[in-house]
A and B are shown apart, each in its own frame.
Chain A
C-alpha cells in the first residue's frame, strides 16, 4: 500500500467510513504498519474526533442528568452492597469455619466415644462368649470324662453281671493287712471262663510311679494276675481275664501288693489286702 492509498484508507477509517471487509483488511494492514503510518493515522483520527467541536452546543434538559445520577448512584450502591457482601462473606467464612470447628470436633469426639463404647461392649461380649465357650468346653470335657467313666463303670458292671450270671462263681473276700487295715476287697471269679471281678475299697491311692498288683498264690507261689491303680478310697472294680487257675482248690490265696509301675514278676512290696477261698 503506497502512502497515497494509505492516507485515503486512513481518512475513511478515521471518519468511520470503513466497514465490513474493508475495515478488516485495513486493520490487518495496520498491524504491520510503520511508525510513520501509525502517526499519520493518529493525526487523522484525532482530527475527525474534533469535528463535534464545530457544532452549535445545546445542553440536555436537567432531567437527563438527574436520571444519569440516579442510575449511577443505584449502580454504586448495588456495587457497594456486592462488595460489602463479598467482604462479609470473605470475613465471615473463616468465622463460620471457626464456629464449625468445635462443633465438628465435638461431633467427631462423640462419634469416637460412641464407637469406643460400642467396641468395648463388643469386646466384652466377645470376652464373655469366649469365657462361656471355655466353660462349655470344660463342661464338655468333664462330661466326656464322666461319660467315659460311666461307660467304663457300665462295662465293669456288665462284666460283673456277666460274671455273676455265670453258672458257677467263686467269691473270695480279702481283708486289710497291717499296712492298711481299713482296706478290703473281694474277688468274684468264674473258674470255667477264667475271668474275675476284683473289687477293692478303702485302698489308699497309689503313689506316683507305683501300681497295685494282684497275685494268685498257687502251690505257695505267687502268680501275677494283673496291675491296677486307684485314685480314691471308694470302691473300685477291675476285670481280670485269663486267670492263671481253673480249679479253686489250687488257689491258696489272693493278695494285693504295691509294686513299681507296671508290676513285677514277683512281689516285692508291702501287702495291702489278702484272702483265701473258703472251700
Chain B
C-alpha cells in the first residue's frame, strides 16, 4: 500500500489483483448488475489510487479500507437508482467518527484477506439464524436502516434491533474464539 501512496502503478496493479474479486463480488451482491459492478470496481480502485495518501494503516487494514470504500459507493449507487434515502450519501460524509487507533490496534478482527478468513466467515454466518443473517445482509449490503428492515420484513423495530445485535455479537464471538 505504501508503494501506491508513492504513485507506483505496479503496486496498484498488485493491489487490484488481490482485492478486485472481493470488490466485484460485493458490488454484484449489492447492485446486482454486472456493468454497474464493473463500474464500481473502477471507481473503487481509482479512489484507492487518488486517496492512497489518506489511508491510515494504524486505523485498520487495507482490506477494511477497500471494503468500506466499495460498500459506500455501492450503497450510494443503490440509493440513487432505487430512490431509497435519495440525497443521503455514505461516501465521505456518513460515518464521520473515527474509531481511535488504540481500539483498532486491539481488534483482532481486522484481518487481511485469506482463504482461512473466508472459511471462518462462512462457518460463522452458518451459526446465525436466517432472520439474523437476513437482517445483517439487508443492513450491510442493501443499506437499509433498522426501521426500513422492520417495514420490509413486517416485524417490530425492537425485534430487528435485537436480532441485529445478537447476530453480530454471535459472529464476533465466533471469530474471536477462532482467531485468538
Q: Interface code B97-134, partner A: CB below 8 Å = 1, 0 otherwise?
A: 10110111011111101000110111011000000000
Q: Name the contact of A55 in the complex, choosing from B29, B63, B71 (C-beta under 8 A).
A: B29
Instruction: Provide the residues of chain A in CB contact with B49, threshold 8 Å.
Output: 72, 75
Q: Interface code B64-105, partner A: CB below 8 Å = 1, 0 otherwise?
A: 100110110001000000000100101000111101101110
CB distance from B152 to the nearest CB of A (A): 12
Q: Is the interface of A mostly helix, strand, loop or mixed?
A: helix
Whether the pair B103, A42 counts as a contact (CB closer than 8 A) is yes
Q: Interface code A206-249, partner B: CB below 8 Å = 1, 0 otherwise?
A: 00000000000000000000000000000000000000000000
For window 28-70 of A, CB contacts with B under 8 Å fall at 30-31, 35, 38-39, 41-61, 63-65, 67-69
Whether the pair A52, B26 counts as a contact (CB closer than 8 A) is yes
Given A16-B90, A43-B107, also A55-B46 (CB < 8 A): no
CB distance from B79 to the nearest CB of A (A): 10
Q: Interface code A2-26, partner B: CB below 8 Å = 1, 0 otherwise?
A: 0000011001111111111011000
Whether the pair A64, B168 counts as a contact (CB closer than 8 A) is no
Q: How far is the CA of A63 from the CA of B24 in the complex (A)?
A: 13
Q: Interface code B165-180, partner A: CB below 8 Å = 1, 0 otherwise?
A: 1001101100110000
User: Is A193 among interface residues, defined by CB-CB distance under 8 A?
Assistant: no
Whether the pair B161, A12 counts as a contact (CB closer than 8 A) is yes
Across the interface, name the chain A residue whose C-beta is closest to B106. Answer: A39
Across the interface, name the chain B residue whose C-beta is closest to A46. Answer: B109
Q: How far is the CA of A76 from the CA of B20 in the complex (A)?
A: 20
Given A8-B165, A65-B16, also A54-B139 (CB < 8 A): no
For chain B, the bracket of interface size reads 35 or more
Q: How far is the CA of A38 from the CA of B23 in the complex (A)?
A: 27
Q: Name the contact of A68 in the complex, choosing from B26, B42, B141 (C-beta under 8 A).
A: B42
User: Is B32 among interface residues, defined by CB-CB distance under 8 A?
Assistant: no
Instruction: Provide the residues of chain B in CB contact with A79, threshold 8 Å.
Output: 7
Whether the pair A51, B136 counts as a contact (CB closer than 8 A) is yes
Q: How far is the CA of A79 from the CA of B113 in the complex (A)?
A: 31
Whether the pair B172, A43 counts as a contact (CB closer than 8 A) is yes
Q: How far is the CA of A72 from the CA of B9 in the complex (A)?
A: 7
Q: How far is the CA of A69 from the CA of B24 in the complex (A)?
A: 16
Q: How far is the CA of A46 from the CA of B129 in the complex (A)?
A: 20
User: Is A27 among interface residues, defined by CB-CB distance under 8 A?
Assistant: yes
Instruction: Provide the residues of chain B in CB contact with A42, threshold 8 Å.
Output: 99, 103-104, 106-107, 110
Whether the pair A55, B110 counts as a contact (CB closer than 8 A) is no
For chain A, the bracket of interface size reads 35 or more
Whether the pair B42, A64 counts as a contact (CB closer than 8 A) is yes
Whether the pair A19, B175 counts as a contact (CB closer than 8 A) is no
Across the interface, name the chain A residue whose C-beta is closest to B141. Answer: A51
User: Is A71 among interface residues, defined by CB-CB distance under 8 A?
Assistant: yes
Instruction: Provide the residues of chain A in CB contact with B21, threshold 8 Å.
Output: 57-60
Q: How far is the CA of A23 from the CA of B85 in the complex (A)?
A: 14
Whether the pair B103, A67 counts as a contact (CB closer than 8 A) is no
Instruction: Provide the residues of chain B in CB contact with A59, threshold 8 Å.
Output: 20-21, 24
Q: How far is the CA of A50 from the CA of B174 in the complex (A)?
A: 13
Whether the pair A52, B165 counts as a contact (CB closer than 8 A) is no
Binding site for A on B (CB under 8 A): 7, 9, 12-13, 16-17, 20-26, 28-29, 37-38, 41-42, 45-46, 49-50, 63-64, 67-68, 70-71, 75, 85, 88, 90, 94-97, 99-100, 102-104, 106-111, 113, 117-118, 120-122, 124-125, 136-137, 139-141, 143-146, 149, 161-162, 164-165, 168-169, 171-172, 175-176
**Which 3 residue pairs are nearest across A and B when measured between Cβ atoms?**
A46-B109, A42-B103, A54-B121
Q: List 28 A-B contacts (CB under 8 A).
A: A11-B169, A12-B146, A12-B164, A14-B168, A15-B136, A16-B71, A17-B145, A35-B100, A42-B99, A44-B168, A45-B99, A46-B64, A46-B109, A46-B172, A51-B125, A51-B136, A52-B22, A52-B70, A53-B122, A54-B124, A55-B26, A58-B25, A59-B21, A60-B41, A65-B17, A73-B9, A75-B49, A75-B50
Binding site for B on A (CB under 8 A): 7-8, 11-20, 22-23, 27, 30-31, 35, 38-39, 41-61, 63-65, 67-69, 71-73, 75-76, 79
